[in-house]
Chain A
Amino acid sequence: MGESITFWVLAVVSVAAALGMVASRKAVYSALMLGLVMLSLAVLYAVQDAPFLAAVQIIVYTGAVMMLFLFVLMLVGVDTIDSLVETIRGQRFWAVVGGVGFAALLALAVGNATIGDATGLSGATTQAGGNVPALAELIFTKYVFAFEVTSALLITAALGAMVLAHRERTAPKPTQKDLSRARFLAFGETGRAPTPLPGPGTYARHNAIDMPALLPDGSISELSVNRVIARHAGGRPEIKPAEEPTREPIKEPTKEDVK
């Protein structure tokens, strides 16, 4: 009884979250939805006599893999929104039709099969003394070769990621002097502030990341809020997207000015 309640709650949650993941326009929402699906699956593993896999699911998937996804999302740009241009005409429609058809096919096939009552894992685990010892026994005897190959795979993957992410430096590394000079050149040409940007929340009521800092005259410093956050704060009209300050370019002093 308890199991079926858990199952129905988590089944609804995980299917809804999976649909939300596919449907949401923003990639960060998709990542969070996927995290929710993975957590529900971890609980379903625990319910099905797989406590070790439930722990591994949380540690590896929601802990490591989702963090990696979010990290790369931040790196690649959270504000990249899916293009709505269809390269193949009607692709979205037919993909949905195919997905629904595939789901119906699988579900009907499973529903038609005669599946007896579950044997349960107590017979397999009691001899070794629990789920984890029984799994360890299997991994280090029957599957020991696969386990060793796995270590080679992990090392190869780590090495591959390092090689792919490595960039050969073609220009010499800019020194602090070069950077400073470039900043002030940009200030002279476009009026871009050479100082660091003001932090959010300074002199404001609280210091949340989307709370703009107040200038001495009480007006809002748009530069203190990240562009992406400012755009998301839909219900707060006082926060507008920060804009680069525009200013008359500073002219080279002429001889008349010096006189």
Chain B
Amino acid sequence: MTTHYLVLSALLFAIGGAGVLIRRNAIVVFMCVELMLNACNLAFVTFARQHGNLDGQVIAFFVMIVAAAEVVVGLAIIVTIFRTRRSASVDDANLLKY
């Protein structure tokens, strides 16, 4: 069963990674990052059961906390960028290029 969970986690992680590369809307890109974090949590929980050790679950718990903090700051940045540039596309924020 462990292998199944790990393969599911790998699939979700890869889908999230591909989504980050494909999508242009900053909020959707952010959702894909969240999906990748969730996939990692699934692997942590699976390994915790595999090894009979609760450390994996504690790490997954900390990942959730950090992800929550990251969402708050990230969405605030997106709102700020939208307020000044009237766009939520990651292609439009390219001033550093020039």
Contacts of A121 in B (CB 8 A): 48-49, 52, 54
Q: Once the chains bind, are A165 and B79 in contact (CB under 8 Å)? A: yes
Question: By the criterion CB–CB under 8 Å, are B61 and A96 in contact?
Answer: no
Chain A residues near B7 (CB-CB < 8 A): 106-107, 110-111
B18 & A135 in contact (Cβ 8 Å cutoff): no
Q: CA A150 – CA B30 in complex, angstroms?
A: 22
Whether A53 contacts B54 by the Cβ 8 Å rule is no
* B54 engages A57 (CB within 8 Å): no
Return B56 CB to nearest CB of chain A, in Å. 9
A211 smallest CB distance to B (angstroms): 29
**A98:B21 contact, CB within 8 angstroms:** yes
A179 at the B interface (CB under 8 A):
no
- On chain B, the residues within 8 Å of A160 by CB distance are 72-73, 76
Chain A residue total in the interface (Cβ 8 A) = 82
A21:B19 contact, CB within 8 angstroms: yes
- Closest approach, in angstroms, between the C-beta of B23 and any C-beta of chain A? 6
Question: What number of residue pairs across chains A and B have CB atoms under 8 A from each other?
Answer: 237
Contact of B13 with A106 in the complex, beta carbons under 8 Å: yes
- In the assembled complex, which residues on chain A have CB atoms less than 8 Å from the CB atom of B95? none
Q: Give the residues in chain B near A41, CB-CB below 8 Å.
A: 38, 41-42
Interface residues of B toward A: which range? Answer: 35 or more
User: Are B50 and A115 closer than 8 Å at their CB atoms?
Assistant: yes
B17 touches A76 (CB 8 A): no
Contacts of A4 in B (CB 8 A): 1, 4
> Among A30, A65, A120, which residue has its beta carbon within 8 angstroms of that of B67?
A65
Query: Is A123 within 8 A of B52, CB to CB?
Result: yes
Contact digits for B15-30, partner A, Cβ 8 Å, 1 yes 0 no: 1111101111101101
Give complex CA distance A89, B82 in Å: 26
Report yes or no: A61 in contact with B64, Cβ–Cβ below 8 A. yes
The CA-CA distance from A244 to B72 in the complex, in Å, is: 36
Whether B91 pairs with A87 at a CB distance below 8 angstroms is yes
